[in-house]
Structure 1
Amino acid sequence: MRQYILETSVYPREPEPLKELRGVTASHPRAKMGTAPDAGQLMAMLLQLVNAKKTIEIGVFTGYSLLLTALSIPDDGKIIAIDLNRDTYEIGLPIIRKAGVEHKIDFIESEALPILDKLLEDGENEGSFDFGFVDADKVNYLNYHERLMKLLRVEGLVVYDNTLWGGNTGDARGIGSRIQETRLAVDN
Structure 2
Amino acid sequence: MENEGKPVRVNIPNQSILRSEGLLKYILETNVFPREPEPLRELRNATLNHPQHLMATSPDAGQLIALLLKLLNAKKTIEVGVFTGYSLLLTALNIPDDGKILALDPARNPFEIGLPFIKKAGVEHKIDFVESQALPILDKLLEDPANEGGFDFAYVDASDKENYWNYHERLIKLVRIGGIIAYDNTLWGGSVGMPEEEVPESKRQWRKQALVFNKAIAGDSRLELAFASVGDGLSICRRIV
| TM-score, shorter chain, exceeding 0.5 | yes
* Percent sequence identity over aligned pairs: 65
**Alpha-carbon shift at residue 166 of structure 1 (Å):** 1.8
Q: 1:49 to 1:166 in 2, by over 3 A?
A: same
Report the Cα distance in structure 2 between the residues aligned to 1:153 and 1:62, rounded to whole angstroms.
27
**Alpha-carbon shift at residue 172 of structure 1 (Å):** 6.7
- RMSD across aligned positions (CA): 1.3
Q: Match of 2:189, SS? A: coil
2:72 matched residue in structure 1? 50
Report the Cα distance in structure 2 between the residues aligned to 1:80 and 1:186, rounded to whole angstroms.
25
**Alpha-carbon shift at residue 170 of structure 1 (Å):** 5.8
Q: 1:168 to 1:68 in 2, by over 3 A?
A: same
Report the Cα distance in structure 1 between the residues aligned to 2:129 and 2:119, rounded to whole angstroms.
13
Which one of 139, 151, 154 corresponds to residue 174 of structure 2?
151
Q: Match of 1:160, SS? A: strand
Q: Match of 1:55, SS? A: strand
Larger radius of gyration: 2
1:164 matched residue in structure 2? 187
> 1:73-152 alignment to 2 at 5 Å?
73-136=95-158, 137-152=160-175
How many residues get paired? 188
**Alpha-carbon shift at residue 51 of structure 1 (Å):** 1.3
For structure 1, list consecutive stretches of 5 or more residues without a partner in the other structure: none
**Alpha-carbon shift at residue 175 of structure 1 (Å):** 1.8
1:61 matched residue in structure 2? 83
Partner letter of residue 182 of structure 1?
Answer: W
Are 1:179 and 2:226 counterparts?
Answer: no
Report the Cα distance in structure 1 between the residues aligned to 2:106 and 2:195, rounded to whole angstroms.
27
**Alpha-carbon shift at residue 144 of structure 1 (Å):** 0.3
Report the Cα distance in structure 2 between the residues aligned to 1:26 and 1:170, rounded to whole angstroms.
28
